[in-house]
Amino acid sequence: MNTLVEYQYLSNDMIALGIAETIVKESPILARLPFLPMSGNAYKYNLESELAGAQYYGVGDTWVESSPTWAQRSTSLVILGGDADVDTFAKQTLGNLQDIKAAVIQLKAKAIAHAFEKSFIYGGTTSTPDAKEFKGLLQLIAEVESSSTTDLDAINNSAVVAAHATSQALSLDNMDELIDAVKPGKPDALIMSRRSRRKLNALARASGTNLRVEQDQWGKFIEIYDTIPILINDFIVDNLDDNSSSVCAIASYSYGQARAGTHDNSPIFAVKWGEDAGVFGLINGGIQQEDLGSLETKDATRTRIKMYCAAALKQVTGVAVLIGATDA
């Protein structure tokens, strides 16, 4: 599976390629998330909920059939995009200083990247959801338990790790448990807020070590915990509700609520990328840009940028979330 930029390299459209490169520079998730190209607008897939068994046999024993258990899930593509208007006067009179159209399109591409980053975590989970969003990680993880589940239940969902039955300060033990919930091997990335990253930094320093820093392929410096890259998502707002008996009710969660004592938790995710490993994206047609030409009501031209996209999870052990953890 390829990333967005790799798909755009198949096209000779330099504007589309520039849009893709801007988007991935703004979004550490979109820079790494592999996308499965598809036709149509919906995707049904089988979530492997239980592995097939195996056992030892003696000569002449009766063999017992054991098959894996599958649970069907589905997701639908959504339209993510926006229009970028370029004032003709500004383009003509200021074009000698910079490419006005390129600058405006770049800003719109950043906005698309930011919208995807937020939906990738919270899509379909708040008390006032945008029905036009795709399912985010919180909802995809909840559906590991069942297709109708709307909470994160650490007792009945193997992809949910509770730091505490209600809430407590993040610990390195919590991080180890989260990482161990993803298998085989280690996660490809840890996704968290800046507040959680600061807490993790403090814990590492207190233990006598520091988080290692490396430069990624896009020239950005990222921190590494236990050989796993830390990806910062600036739309994780550190106000998730406290657990109740190790269960977090995401259906009633309000994204805009003020951070307070009973809702001051920060979810931390461990993920593997890819259709056969964990989380992946769905896309129809790549990143598209349309030149809509001159506008009737103002002296400007318009460019439309859009993606038909969604996210999916096929492997139960390919993702996990830590709930009930604060930076207190």
191-248 pLDDT tens trace? 999 999 999 999 999 998 888 888 877 777 889 999 999 999 999 999 999 999 999 9
Helix axes 14-26, 100-122, angle to 10 degrees: 50
The one-letter amino acid code at 227 reads T
Tokens of 328: 């207190």
User: What is the distance between the alpha carbons of residues 7 and 63, in angstroms, rounded to a whole number?
Assistant: 47
Please give the pLDDT value at position 22.
82
Q: Which residues of the chain have pLDDT under 50?
A: none
Q: In this predicted structure, what is the pLDDT of residue 288?
A: 85
User: β-strand 35-37 against 279-283: which pairing, if any?
Assistant: parallel
Q: What is the pTM of this model?
A: 0.89
Extract the runs of DSSP E, i.e. beta strands, from the chain.
Answer: 35-37, 42-50, 69-76, 78-87, 152-153, 160-162, 168-169, 189-192, 212-215, 221-225, 228-232, 247-248, 268-271, 279-283, 288-294, 300-313, 319-323, 325-326
Q: What is the pLDDT of residue 197?
A: 96
